[in-house]
Amino acid sequence: MAYTRQRPSTGESPDELRARIPGWGADLDPADRPSVPKLQLHDVPGVDWDFPERQPEHQPRERSIEHAFLTPVFGTTCPPRGLSGAVRRLAYRRYSEGRAAHWLLLLAADRVDAWENHLRSFATLRPDNPITETGVRSELTRGGWSSRFGRKRADTAHQLLDPVIVAGPWVAVAAAALVAAKRARRR
């Protein structure tokens, strides 16, 4: 069972697994593991529980289908909401963490969440400003261009794609709005 001291039953003995899977159990012998002294939980203060106290779940959180229940402690600062939350819940409900579909859906949910927040900002007195918030101005005023050459910075490999990735969606939305406005004017 997850999150407890009890180890789950694998159904097969270590000898059966070793015979069936090449290399399985290479670290079973404690003499081969340098971390064995740290794994001795006897006489360690504060490690005498069978199961940690569970954090109350005030609203449903997403959880992996590999686990029987939610972890005893979980984050509550960014609960899933809106369309991005629905995509996240779908990823956790339908796909294992070992499948690419799970992670691709989570990436898509992040992009949807970003656009939900961009759209939400237009309803405020301080809407998002993609020009100043991406640091384009500091590239010109703070020596951004000169700091990229001769210093072996890791981000220089993708700097040509950054404007496309950051500005591309904004340009696409502006173009779509312009086309929609033209079509509305023709009617």
Q: What is the mean pLDDT of residues 39-57?
A: 74
What is the spatial distance between Cα 15 and Cα 74, in angstroms, rounded to a whole number? 37
Q: What pLDDT is attached to residue 23?
A: 84
Q: Does residue 106 lie within any of the structural domains? A: yes
What is the spatial distance between Cα 102 and Cα 65, in angstroms, rounded to a whole number? 11
**DSSP helix/strand/coil, 180:** helix
Q: Look at the pTM and tell me if it is higher than 0.85.
A: no
Q: What is the mean pLDDT of residues 64-90?
A: 89
Q: Does residue 132 lie within any of the structural domains? A: yes
Q: Does residue 67 lie within any of the structural domains? A: no
- Which residues, other chains included, contact 97 with Cβ-Cβ below 8 Å and sequence gap of 6+? 64, 66, 103
How confident is the prediction for the chain on average, in pLDDT?
Answer: 84
Per the structure, the count of domains in the chain is 1
Q: What pLDDT is attached to residue 43?
A: 66
Instruction: Answer with the residue of higher pLDDT: 4 or 63.
Output: 63
- SS percent in the chain: helix, strand, coil, step 5: 50, 0, 50
Long-range contacts of 49-54, Cβ-Cβ distance < 8 Å, separation of 24 or more = 50/4, 50/5, 51/3, 51/4, 52/3
Q: What is the mean pLDDT of residues 140-159?
A: 81
| Angle value at C-alpha 109, between 158 and 170, nearest 5 degrees | 55
Residue 88 belongs to domain spanning? 80-143
Q: Does residue 85 lie within any of the structural domains? A: yes
Q: What pLDDT is attached to residue 101?
A: 96
Return the structure tokens found at 120.
């939400």
Q: What pLDDT is attached to residue 72?
A: 87
Instruction: Answer with the residue of higher pLDDT: 51 or 113.
Output: 113
Return the structure tokens found at 85.
């939350």
Q: Does residue 136 lie within any of the structural domains? A: yes
pLDDT at 46 over 80: no
Buried b (16+ CB within 10 A) or exposed e, 28-41: eeeeeeeeeeeeee
Cα four-point dihedral sign 114, 56, 41, 24: negative
Q: What pLDDT is attached to residue 18?
A: 85
Q: What pLDDT is attached to residue 2?
A: 60
Q: What pLDDT is attached to residue 90?
A: 95
Helices (H), 49-161: 82-94, 100-121, 130-133, 136-141
pLDDT at 142 over 70: yes
Q: What pLDDT is attached to residue 66?
A: 84
